Amino acid sequence: MSDAVAGLTNSKPLAKITDQSEPELRQWAVENEEKPFRAVQLFQWIYLHRVTDWDEMKNVSKKFLRKVSGHFTLQRIPIVRKQEAPDGTIKILQELNDRHRVESVLLNHGDHYTVCISTQVGCAMGCKFCLTAKMGLKRNLTPGEIVEQVLNAQSLLPEGKTLRNIVYMGMGEPFHNYDNTIHSLKILLNPHGFDFSARRITVSTSGIVPGIERFAGESDLQVNLAISLNGVTQEARQKLMPVSRRYSLEELIETCRRFPVESRKRITFEYILMGGLTDSMASARSLVKLLHGIKAKVNLIPYNEHALLPYKSSEPETARQFQQYLLDHGILATMRVSRGQGISAACGQLATEAPARPAGRDEKSGHPEPY
Ligand code: SAH
Ligand code: SF4
């Protein structure tokens, strides 16, 4: 039974079923004179068996299917392009109902994969080094549009491979779309559906302090937190990340210090190594001091250069020394392997539309106040 057929019974556009939490579906079922357990069945069919047609829902009565398909669509955001890099990284371009496009990236780790998903079309945060920033913010993604990126990625996995990790590190700032991000996490963690392990999900933020504080209070969501640091002094950081003018480095670090981390977990600090800008030994020393007393690990990211952006990657030897300094001072520091270079699928290279502002212009863009 297709949505199109079902849609004939209802002139209103169909709501996305993936936008609904399990309690919302339960309520909908009850309001439509159905048993609440229908919500569990729907979650199982959509996220566990990952069906794409109502008729595949075998243990569900035809009467109920007619009702539910007259109200909701099962259709996922369509994949309009799939590009694979020589290293196995797959960039997935998807089109939304309003023609905006959004990207996700599947990263190949051999027997398992990580998917990097987006939370917004573009981004309002204006980080100087990031290509997504050049688009400005177009709009927030709905919870369903976030979750469907995971369903789409799963559908592209090679035979026998599993999706092990989900990182909210694609386009957009998750805490600038807080409610939809949380809603999507609840769907991914739901034991009747994906049943994803919280330990295998990471949400990355540029440092929206009230968002981090709210996130700390979401005690039923023990997912990992990553902070894009990228500068070790207030002066250095605010030059690169305008968000730091609103929420200072000091405030950010204090908030991280208070963040409740379970015994096995740490906060990840992402730090981009940019030649002559963030990669000095003085910066490494400051970074060690800054993170003192925080259960932290540092993920060093070699800068991905782009013709539209003026920054340079660090020399490999400088990057190695930077990492070694952290390790020698008791900080768990990893170096991210840059992936998907040939297809612009690496960090900070996701941008689906022409830049909203020319390169190099200062950000006073008239976009809605993001924080
Ligand atoms: N908006 C969120 C999550 C998405 S950005 C955030 O900023 O945390 C994902 C990561 O890519 C961030 O850590 C960011 O610092 C990094 N990044 C952005 N542009 C980059 C570039 N050109 N090279 C390397 N990393 C980049
Ligand atoms: Fe947005 Fe993150 Fe890019 Fe900054 S680094 S502009 S917050 S996507």
Asked whether 123 lines ligand 2 (CB < 6 A), one says yes
Measured from the CA of 133, which atom of ligand 2 is nearest? 6
Model confidence band, residue 369 (pLDDT cutoffs 50, 70, 90): very low
**Residue 12, pLDDT score:** 73
pLDDT in tens, 60-111: 999 999 999 999 999 999 999 999 988 889 999 999 999 999 999 999 999 8
Contact 244, 287 (CB under 8 A): no
Report the CATH superfamily, name and number, of domain 79-343: Aldolase class I (3.20.20.70)
| Average pLDDT for 155-179 | 96
Measured from the CA of 172, which atom of ligand 1 is nearest? 1
Asked whether 301 lines ligand 1 (CB < 6 A), one says yes
- Which range (109-113, 189-193, 367-371) has the least confidence? 367-371
Asked whether 272 lines ligand 1 (CB < 6 A), one says yes
Distance (Å) from CA 243 to ligand 2 centroid: 10
Quick one: what percent of the chain has pLDDT higher than 70? 88
Query: SS3 of 167, please?
Result: strand
**How many CA atoms lie less than 13 Å away from 119 in the CB half-sphere?**
24
Q: How far apart are CA 132 and CA 126, in angstroms?
A: 8
Model confidence band, residue 368 (pLDDT cutoffs 50, 70, 90): very low
Phi, psi of 318, deg, nearest 5? -65, -45
362, pLDDT greater than 70: no
**Residue 366, pLDDT score:** 32
Mutation probe of ligand 1 site: the residue of 270, 277, 300, 308 with most atoms within 8 A of C-beta: 270
Model confidence band, residue 354 (pLDDT cutoffs 50, 70, 90): low
Q: How far apart are CA 297 and CA 36, in angstroms?
A: 43
Ligand at minimal distance from the CA of 351 is 2
Name the token pair of 288: 């060690």
Sign, Cα dihedral of 288, 289, 290, 294 = positive
Ligand at minimal distance from the CA of 348 is 1
Partners of residue 112 on adjacent β-strands: 162
358, pLDDT greater than 50: no
| Average pLDDT for 25-30 | 97
156, pLDDT greater than 60: yes
Asked whether 89 lines ligand 2 (CB < 6 A), one says no
Distance (Å) from CA 351 to ligand 2 centroid: 11
pLDDT in tens, 39-64: 999 999 999 999 999 999 998 999 99
Whose Cα sits closest to atom 5 in ligand 1? 169
Mean residue pLDDT of the chain comes to 90
**Residue 336, pLDDT score:** 87
Asked whether 279 lines ligand 2 (CB < 6 A), one says no
Mutation probe of ligand 2 site: the residue of 102, 128, 130, 244 with most atoms within 8 A of C-beta: 130
Asked whether 127 lines ligand 2 (CB < 6 A), one says yes
Query: SS3 of 45, please?
Result: helix
Asked whether 119 lines ligand 2 (CB < 6 A), one says no
pLDDT in tens, 243-289: 999 999 999 999 999 999 986 689 999 999 999 999 999 999 999 99
The CATH class for the domain spanning 3-73 reads mainly alpha
pTM given for the model? 0.92
Asked whether 173 lines ligand 2 (CB < 6 A), one says yes
Partners of residue 94 on adjacent β-strands: 79, 102
Ligand at minimal distance from the CA of 307 is 1
The residues annotated as belonging to the active site are 103, 347
Mutation probe of ligand 1 site: the residue of 135, 169, 225 with most atoms within 8 A of C-beta: 169
Model confidence band, residue 11 (pLDDT cutoffs 50, 70, 90): low
Asked whether 20 lines ligand 1 (CB < 6 A), one says no
Instruction: Spell out the domain ranges in the chain.
Output: 3-73, 79-343
Mutation probe of ligand 2 site: the residue of 173, 175, 209, 239 with most atoms within 8 A of C-beta: 173
Residues in CB range of 50: below 8 A, 6 or more apart: 151, 154, 155
Model confidence band, residue 367 (pLDDT cutoffs 50, 70, 90): very low
CB burial class (10 A; 0-12, 13-18, 19+) of residue 223?
buried
**Residue 348, pLDDT score:** 63
Q: How far apart are CA 359 and CA 371, in angstroms?
A: 23
